[in-house]
Amino acid sequence: MSRCRIDLGRIEEWVKAKRFKKILIQVPPGLWPEAVTVSEFLKKAGVETIIHGGSCWGGCDVAYFEAKSLKLDAIIHMGHSRFLERDEVPTYYLECRYMDPEPLKSLLGEIKDRLSGCKRIGVGLTVQWLDFLDELLTWLRNIGFEPYVGEPIGVLRYRGQVLGCNYHPLLKLEKIVDCYLVIGSIFHGLGLALQTRKPTYAGDPCTQRIVKLEEHVKKLLKSRYSYIQEFRNARRIGILLSVKPGQRRVKLAVKLRRIIEEAGKISEIVVVDDVEEDHLLDLPHEAFVNTACPRLSIEDQNRFKK
């Protein structure tokens, strides 16, 4: 049984209305069982499906290229809400929201204990948990908190939503709240913790853990500082530019190259899809500036030896 709310009828409606015959199904690894359910359902409905076997890092990473390359009619992109304004290939964003609120509810006791010093809490949830936003707010009020949520803006399509690269709505609450609670993973909380001075907690219903991110931030900033020092000494700098539809920052890359060259260093723009350690090691550059996913420079920096 699927853990997610997947309305197969609505998918079928969309496919039939648009007369799509060949569909690419793209999914992050955790959602394979759900992808197979969708694929088998569509096959039975007479639609040809092809599964995307590469990475899938977010709504910024839609497999338009693969779909176009194989002349497919449309994409079903699972696990993320729409990130891009326009799709190069018709794309159905199947958000895969969890159906069972229990894991979220059973976090409440620990939330009450661990966040006891806070009264006003800025609350954010990943799209998977968004169906339970209102319930969560009620639960939090019932145990004495005063929760606040951000309103949708830009790539954040829903009230209360967080993405690993965008926390604007929560940061707008900075002066109101005492602390933040991000429901999702440590990854999702950490992105916010790095941008605020307010205490930030990550609450993960899957692991049943509440983590205060203070120590994580200190450790990260310390290592970032040493990377910055190393970067200063590098002479040949590669500027990483992604081809992923939502990470393709050409103007920024060109601007950075100009700045770096004006600083007397040698610089090349290096185009990549996934940023792979092996490729960076092989390249002749001593250091890299990243214009792709901002989280690469945070979580994955120590994966990369330069």
Question: Does 225 participate in binding a copy of itself (rule CB under 8 A)?
Answer: no
In which order are the strands placed within the sheet that holds 209-212?
146-149, 120-125, 179-183, 200-204, 209-212
Q: Which stretch binds a copy of itself (CB under 8 A): 128-136, 150-158, 216-224, 235-243?
A: 235-243
The nearer residue to a copy of itself, 12 or 66, going by C-beta atoms, is: 66
CB of 31 to a copy of itself, least distance (A): 10
CA 305 – CA 286 distance, rounded (Å): 10
Q: Which residues face 1 on adjacent strands?
A: none
Question: Which residue is associated with the tokens 């197979």?
Answer: 36
Q: How many CA atoms lie within 13 A of 122 on its CB side?
A: 26
- The 3-state DSSP class for residue 203 equals strand
- Residues in contact with a copy of itself, counted by CB under 8 A, come to a total of 37
Lookup: tokens for 269: 């723009």
Q: How many CA atoms lie within 13 A of 44 on its CB side?
A: 9
The nearer residue to a copy of itself, 133 or 293, going by C-beta atoms, is: 293
CA 177 – CA 204 distance, rounded (Å): 21
In the window 30-59, what residues touch a copy of itself (CB under 8 A)?
A: 32-33, 35-36, 39, 49-55
Q: Which stretch binds a copy of itself (CB under 8 A): 3-11, 13-21, 144-152, 236-244?
A: 236-244
Question: Does 243 participate in binding a copy of itself (rule CB under 8 A)?
Answer: yes
Question: Does 177 participate in binding a copy of itself (rule CB under 8 A)?
Answer: no
- Binding positions for a copy of itself, rule: CB under 8 A: 24, 29, 32-33, 35-36, 39, 49-55, 63, 65-66, 69-70, 238, 240-241, 243, 248, 250, 268-273, 276, 279-280, 282-284
